[in-house]
Amino acid sequence: MKVIVAGYFKTGTKTMQAALTELGYNVYDWIENFEFLEKEWKQICTVGGSTELFRKMYENVDAVTDQPGCIFWDEILKAFPDAKIILTMRENEEEWWRSVQKQLKENSTWTLWAIMNVSPTGRRLSQHTKRLVNSAVGQQNNFTTFMNETLFKMAYSRHNAHVLQNAPKGQLLVFNLKDGWDPLCDFLDLPVPSTSFPHKNKKGEMIQNVLKTNKMFRKMQREVMVVTAVSGVIVAIGLYMGMAIALRGNLL
């Protein structure tokens, strides 16, 4: 682990994932943390983890962005004490909260609801997300239908203060995405790419993109179709049997 992006979700984490990938890092964002480390994160959020566990989880990973990495940044740092830390923030908590609400609105689609409630993998992802969000906030919240504004704002402010106060100063970059490649590459001791600095998920379209392009989400959509089809067949058989029994009763 070389880089820990400690910025809270909805502070440009998808942009940081794209930028670090462009710089050659193997990056684990929230999808990869579920796809490859679901079991480990369930253990951490329910019974606890250890420095050895974090070291094993990320021994072949270069960088981590978004939750759960941002929430447990200091535990990851204990496992990789030489890692560099990048903190991204919104201008204030009100701007951050508006971004969260915009993302929730974009997530309110029938397709995503079906994935999270019908697909077996999607139900696991839903539980995984709730565990992580509740770990961050400290209270039970349903991330898809209800979020306690007061508690979330307090958690966001508390998180940023904790990073600023406790991250080793020589290893911390407070990064404004508007500044582009130069301060980021200078901090990481890397040459500046010739490509433009990426800006991802500015309108909360991230979920729509992963629904189209991510193999795990495509798998979950196939699971929805299979479950729906099988359920339809079972219902049809049940109706047929019920009608047959009723008809037989009438004939007798």
What is the rounded CA–CA span in Å between residue 63 and residue 5? 7
State both tokens at 97.
Answer: 């909260």
List pLDDT tens digits, range 8-44.
999 999 999 999 999 999 999 999 999 999 999 999 9
Residue 223 has pLDDT above 80, yes or no: no
CATH 3.40.50.300 holds for 3-251: yes
3 state SS of 12: coil
Q: Which residues contact 4 (CB under 8 A, 6 or more apart)?
A: 63, 64, 69, 73, 76, 77, 80, 83, 84, 85, 86
- List residues bridging with 236 in a β-sheet: none
Residue with the two structure tokens 């993998």: 121
Residue 145 has pLDDT above 60, yes or no: no
State both tokens at 163.
Answer: 């990073």
Amino acid at 147: M
Where residue 208 falls (left for φ over 0; alpha for ψ -120 to 50; beta otherwise) is alpha
Residue 206 has pLDDT above 90, yes or no: no
What is the rounded CA–CA span in Å between residue 130 and residue 24? 31
Q: What is the pTM of this model?
A: 0.81
The answer to whether residues 7 and 88 touch, using CB atoms and an 8 Å cutoff, is yes
What confidence score (pLDDT) does residue 12 get? Answer: 92
List pLDDT tens digits, range 209-218.
776 777 787 7
- The b-or-e profile of 183-208 (16+ CB within 10 A means b, else e) is ebeebbeeeeeeeebbebbeebebbe
Instruction: Show the 3-state SS of 183-214.
Output: HHHHHHCCCCCCCCCCCCCCCCCHHHHHHHHC
Distance of CA 43 to the CA centre of its chain: 17
State both tokens at 175.
Answer: 């990064």
Domains of the chain by residue range:
3-251
**Which own/partner contact pairs does 161-165 have at CB distance under 8 Å and 24+ positions apart?**
162/74, 163/6, 163/73, 163/85, 163/87, 164/87
Q: Measure CA of the first residue to CA of the last residue in the chain; give whole Å.
A: 75
List pLDDT tens digits, range 181-202.
999 999 999 999 999 999 875 5
User: Once rounded to an integer, what is the mean pLDDT over residues 88-99?
Assistant: 92
DSSP assignment of 76-110 equals HHHHSTT-EEEE---SSHHHHHHHHHHHHHHH--H
What confidence score (pLDDT) does residue 95 get? Answer: 93
